[in-house]
Amino acid sequence: MYRVNEIFYSLQGEGRHTGRAAVFVRFSGCNLRCPFCDTDFAAYKPMAIADIMNAISLWSECGFVVLTGGEPSLQVDDALVEELHRAGFYVAVETNGTHALPDSVDWVTWSPKDGFNDHVPPLALSRIDEVKVVFDGEHNPEHYSSLAVGAYLCLQPCDTGDPDRNRETTRQCVDYILRHPHWHLSLQTHKMIHIQ
Protein backbone atom coordinates (compact mmCIF):
# COMPACT_ATOMS: atom_id res chain seq x y z
CA MET A 1 0.00 0.00 0.00
CA TYR A 2 1.16 3.52 -0.83
CA ARG A 3 0.49 6.50 1.45
CA VAL A 4 -1.08 9.04 -0.91
CA ASN A 5 -1.72 12.58 0.26
CA GLU A 6 -3.73 13.60 -2.80
CA ILE A 7 -4.29 13.00 -6.51
CA PHE A 8 -5.33 15.86 -8.74
CA TYR A 9 -5.25 17.12 -12.33
CA SER A 10 -3.74 20.50 -13.12
CA LEU A 11 -0.90 22.19 -14.98
CA GLN A 12 2.72 21.64 -14.04
CA GLY A 13 3.49 24.96 -12.42
CA GLU A 14 7.29 24.93 -12.30
CA GLY A 15 10.47 23.66 -13.91
CA ARG A 16 11.11 22.39 -17.42
CA HIS A 17 7.55 21.13 -17.98
CA THR A 18 5.80 24.35 -16.86
CA GLY A 19 2.37 24.70 -18.41
CA ARG A 20 1.95 21.04 -19.32
CA ALA A 21 -1.25 19.29 -18.25
CA ALA A 22 -0.41 16.65 -15.65
CA VAL A 23 -1.89 14.23 -13.18
CA PHE A 24 -0.20 14.75 -9.80
CA VAL A 25 0.15 11.92 -7.31
CA ARG A 26 1.40 13.46 -4.07
CA PHE A 27 2.85 10.96 -1.61
CA SER A 28 2.81 11.59 2.11
CA GLY A 29 5.92 11.47 4.23
CA CYS A 30 9.44 12.83 3.85
CA ASN A 31 12.85 12.25 5.40
CA LEU A 32 13.52 16.01 5.48
CA ARG A 33 11.71 19.00 6.95
CA CYS A 34 11.96 22.12 4.81
CA PRO A 35 10.56 25.39 6.21
CA PHE A 36 8.61 26.16 3.01
CA CYS A 37 7.03 22.71 2.52
CA ASP A 38 3.31 22.87 1.68
CA THR A 39 2.41 19.20 2.26
CA ASP A 40 0.34 17.99 5.21
CA PHE A 41 2.18 14.77 6.07
CA ALA A 42 -0.42 13.65 8.59
CA ALA A 43 -3.09 13.41 5.91
CA TYR A 44 -2.96 10.41 3.60
CA LYS A 45 -5.01 7.57 2.23
CA PRO A 46 -3.55 4.04 1.92
CA MET A 47 -3.88 3.07 -1.75
CA ALA A 48 -2.94 -0.02 -3.74
CA ILE A 49 -1.67 0.32 -7.32
CA ALA A 50 -5.16 -0.51 -8.61
CA ASP A 51 -6.63 2.31 -6.50
CA ILE A 52 -4.10 4.81 -7.86
CA MET A 53 -4.67 3.70 -11.45
CA ASN A 54 -8.43 3.93 -11.02
CA ALA A 55 -8.15 7.45 -9.58
CA ILE A 56 -5.96 8.76 -12.41
CA SER A 57 -7.85 7.01 -15.21
CA LEU A 58 -10.14 10.04 -15.50
CA TRP A 59 -7.21 11.99 -16.94
CA SER A 60 -5.32 9.35 -18.90
CA GLU A 61 -5.67 11.42 -22.08
CA CYS A 62 -3.00 13.86 -20.85
CA GLY A 63 -0.40 11.07 -20.74
CA PHE A 64 1.79 12.80 -18.13
CA VAL A 65 1.99 11.95 -14.44
CA VAL A 66 4.09 13.70 -11.80
CA LEU A 67 4.96 11.73 -8.67
CA THR A 68 5.71 14.23 -5.94
CA GLY A 69 5.47 14.66 -2.21
CA GLY A 70 6.60 14.77 0.42
CA GLU A 71 9.40 12.56 -0.83
CA PRO A 72 8.12 10.09 -3.44
CA SER A 73 11.33 8.04 -3.57
CA LEU A 74 10.39 6.60 -0.16
CA GLN A 75 7.47 4.79 -1.85
CA VAL A 76 7.74 4.78 -5.66
CA ASP A 77 8.79 1.38 -6.96
CA ASP A 78 9.15 -0.55 -10.23
CA ALA A 79 5.66 -2.05 -9.97
CA LEU A 80 3.96 1.36 -9.86
CA VAL A 81 6.07 2.83 -12.67
CA GLU A 82 5.45 -0.24 -14.83
CA GLU A 83 1.69 0.07 -14.34
CA LEU A 84 1.78 3.79 -15.18
CA HIS A 85 3.73 3.03 -18.37
CA ARG A 86 1.27 0.29 -19.27
CA ALA A 87 -1.51 2.89 -19.04
CA GLY A 88 0.41 5.20 -21.42
CA PHE A 89 1.79 7.73 -18.94
CA TYR A 90 5.15 9.48 -19.16
CA VAL A 91 6.37 9.32 -15.55
CA ALA A 92 8.12 12.29 -13.93
CA VAL A 93 9.34 12.31 -10.33
CA GLU A 94 10.26 15.31 -8.17
CA THR A 95 12.71 14.24 -5.47
CA ASN A 96 15.19 15.52 -2.91
CA GLY A 97 17.59 12.91 -4.27
CA THR A 98 18.38 11.15 -1.01
CA HIS A 99 16.95 7.76 -2.09
CA ALA A 100 17.29 5.80 -5.33
CA LEU A 101 14.49 5.73 -7.88
CA PRO A 102 13.48 2.99 -10.31
CA ASP A 103 15.57 3.24 -13.50
CA SER A 104 12.37 3.14 -15.55
CA VAL A 105 11.24 6.63 -14.45
CA ASP A 106 11.14 8.86 -17.55
CA TRP A 107 12.06 12.24 -16.02
CA VAL A 108 13.89 12.89 -12.75
CA THR A 109 13.77 16.35 -11.21
CA TRP A 110 16.22 16.73 -8.36
CA SER A 111 15.42 19.51 -5.93
CA PRO A 112 18.31 19.55 -3.43
CA LYS A 113 17.38 20.60 0.08
CA ASP A 114 20.74 20.64 1.88
CA GLY A 115 20.58 24.43 2.16
CA PHE A 116 17.48 24.10 4.35
CA ASN A 117 18.24 20.99 6.40
CA ASP A 118 21.09 19.73 8.54
CA HIS A 119 22.49 16.24 7.96
CA VAL A 120 21.04 15.59 4.50
CA PRO A 121 21.99 12.10 3.24
CA PRO A 122 24.27 11.97 0.18
CA LEU A 123 22.87 12.11 -3.35
CA ALA A 124 21.52 8.67 -4.30
CA LEU A 125 20.28 9.21 -7.86
CA SER A 126 21.71 7.35 -10.84
CA ARG A 127 20.26 9.88 -13.33
CA ILE A 128 19.16 13.50 -13.15
CA ASP A 129 17.27 15.19 -15.99
CA GLU A 130 16.55 18.47 -14.24
CA VAL A 131 17.95 20.29 -11.23
CA LYS A 132 15.48 22.64 -9.56
CA VAL A 133 17.16 24.66 -6.83
CA VAL A 134 14.94 26.60 -4.43
CA PHE A 135 16.87 29.87 -4.34
CA ASP A 136 16.89 31.92 -1.16
CA GLY A 137 19.64 34.39 -2.12
CA GLU A 138 21.96 32.98 0.51
CA HIS A 139 23.19 29.68 -0.94
CA ASN A 140 25.30 29.37 -4.09
CA PRO A 141 23.61 26.88 -6.45
CA GLU A 142 26.61 26.44 -8.75
CA HIS A 143 27.99 23.26 -7.20
CA TYR A 144 24.74 21.42 -8.08
CA SER A 145 25.44 21.79 -11.79
CA SER A 146 28.66 19.79 -11.39
CA LEU A 147 26.66 16.96 -9.80
CA ALA A 148 24.18 16.81 -12.68
CA VAL A 149 26.18 17.39 -15.85
CA GLY A 150 23.88 17.79 -18.85
CA ALA A 151 20.74 18.32 -16.77
CA TYR A 152 18.32 21.21 -17.32
CA LEU A 153 19.16 23.74 -14.58
CA CYS A 154 16.40 25.76 -12.87
CA LEU A 155 16.51 28.37 -10.14
CA GLN A 156 13.23 28.91 -8.33
CA PRO A 157 12.79 31.83 -5.93
CA CYS A 158 11.86 30.57 -2.48
CA ASP A 159 8.32 31.47 -1.46
CA THR A 160 8.70 32.72 2.10
CA GLY A 161 5.13 33.98 2.43
CA ASP A 162 6.49 37.54 2.82
CA PRO A 163 5.78 39.55 -0.38
CA ASP A 164 8.67 41.97 0.19
CA ARG A 165 11.15 39.17 0.84
CA ASN A 166 9.82 37.25 -2.15
CA ARG A 167 10.35 40.24 -4.46
CA GLU A 168 13.93 40.63 -3.25
CA THR A 169 14.67 36.91 -3.63
CA THR A 170 13.21 36.94 -7.15
CA ARG A 171 15.38 39.94 -8.06
CA GLN A 172 18.47 38.14 -6.73
CA CYS A 173 17.48 35.03 -8.65
CA VAL A 174 17.16 36.98 -11.92
CA ASP A 175 20.49 38.70 -11.29
CA TYR A 176 22.14 35.35 -10.68
CA ILE A 177 20.79 33.88 -13.94
CA LEU A 178 21.91 36.93 -15.91
CA ARG A 179 25.42 36.30 -14.60
CA HIS A 180 25.14 32.50 -15.03
CA PRO A 181 23.02 32.02 -18.18
CA HIS A 182 23.20 28.21 -18.12
CA TRP A 183 20.51 28.44 -15.40
CA HIS A 184 16.81 29.04 -16.19
CA LEU A 185 14.19 30.86 -14.13
CA SER A 186 11.46 28.66 -12.68
CA LEU A 187 8.46 30.43 -11.20
CA GLN A 188 5.64 28.76 -9.30
CA THR A 189 3.12 29.74 -11.95
CA HIS A 190 0.36 27.67 -10.36
CA LYS A 191 0.47 30.05 -7.37
CA MET A 192 0.49 33.09 -9.65
CA ILE A 193 -2.66 31.99 -11.52
CA HIS A 194 -4.30 30.50 -8.42
CA ILE A 195 -4.62 26.85 -9.41
CA GLN A 196 -3.67 23.76 -7.47
* Active-site residue flag, 143: no
- Which entry of 14, 17, 24, 135 is annotated as an active-site residue? 24
- Which entry of 38, 61, 103, 164 is annotated as an active-site residue? 38
Angle at 92 between CA 87 and CA 98, to 5 degrees: 130
Rounded CA gap, 15 and 109, in Å? 8
- Which entry of 14, 30, 64, 154 is annotated as an active-site residue? 30
Using CB atoms within 10 A of its CB, is residue 169 exposed (0-12), middle (13-18) or buried (19+)? buried
* Active-site residue flag, 94: yes
* Active-site residue flag, 41: no
* Active-site residue flag, 180: no
Rounded CA gap, 110 and 97, in Å? 6
Nearest CA-CA partner of 113 in 144, 151, 77? 144
Half-sphere exposure of 75 (CA within 13 A, CB side): 23
- Which entry of 34, 51, 99, 139 is annotated as an active-site residue? 34
Cα-atom radius of gyration of the chain, to the nearest Å? 16
- Confirm if 137 and 169 have CB atoms less than 8 A apart: yes
Nearest CA-CA partner of 43 in 14, 77, 5? 5
- Which entry of 94, 129, 130, 136 is annotated as an active-site residue? 94
* Active-site residue flag, 118: no
- Which entry of 39, 68, 95, 170 is annotated as an active-site residue? 39
- Which entry of 6, 8, 18, 37 is annotated as an active-site residue? 37
* Active-site residue flag, 190: yes
> Which residues are part of the catalytic machinery?
24, 30, 34, 37-39, 94, 190
